[in-house]
Amino acid sequence: MKGRFIVFEGIDGCGKTTQISKLTKWLPSSGLMPEGTILHITREPGGTELGQAFRKLLLNPPKNIIPQDLTELLMYAADRAQHVSELILPNLEKGDWVVSDRFSGSTLSYQGYGREIDLNLINQLEKIATQGLNPNITFWLDLSVNESLARRKGFNNDRIEAEGADFLQKVRCGFQTIAKQRNWIRVSAEQSKEIIAQNIKEELLKFDLEARRINA
Ligand code: TYD
């Protein structure tokens, strides 16, 4: 794949959106992206027009619509399948860079560790939905459950956020396990926004040096 695929993961309130918007300002002028390439910022669920419909049904469905756990899993997978084939792969093939707010690690953590759906089943589904695509680099913004709940106090929770502390604890443990298995870069989300952004920049510069060394 010619382009680069960067993913941000973490529990609700970990500050992915803030960090992605900082990155959007820095990356194009960082000297890391080859000339003529474009940065695409996207997210899951909802990175495509079809995905927007999935996002609404998943997170803010009408009161009488309650997705079952397995249905929820398949909807996240369907959103991802569309996202990968419509947006992510074509842009990476052109050599562009793609930054995504969440990817398949979220399904393993939320539906696997949180909802306790069989991990092998989720792994199989991941292969189908992603067509085997893996991020080049994944940042895990690690936040404690207490801090996540405190940051979101007073805000309207979506259907997943409303699951509460025990669920979120299981999801965080999931992220911890997957981060180790997949060599994700852990960044503590309990530091200032500026320090977190600095850590992310340094890791991207390091990754680039390593990639150049391997290609030399
Ligand atoms: P997100 O867009 O990060 O929430 P926000 O609107 O607060 O920024 O994520 C939406 C929710 O979807 C979040 O609670 C996690 C959940 N989710 C899953 O449960 N499984 C998945 O595969 C994905 C991508 C998200």
Question: Could you identify the atom of ligand 1 that is nearest to the CA of residue 76?
Answer: 22
- Sheet containing 39-43: order of strands: 39-43, 97-101, 4-9, 137-142, 185-188
How far is it, in rounded angstroms, from Cα 6 to Cα 137?
5
- Average pLDDT score over the chain: 96
Nearest CA, atom 3, ligand 1? 12
Ligand 1 centroid–CA 42 distance in Å is 13
141-178 residue pLDDT tens: 999 999 999 998 888 888 888 899 999 999 999 999 99
As given in the structure block, the two tokens for residue 91 are 């842009």
The H or E element that residue 139 is part of is strand 137-142
Q: Give average pLDDT by consecutive 10-residue segment, the chain, 216 residues.
A: 94 96 96 96 98 96 92 98 98 98 98 98 98 98 96 87 93 98 98 98 95 86
Query: Please, are residues 55 and 79 in contact by the beta-carbon 8 Å criterion?
Result: yes
Name every protein residue with a CB atom under 6 angstroms from any ligand 1 atom: 12, 17, 43-45, 59, 76, 101-102, 106-107, 110-111, 160-161
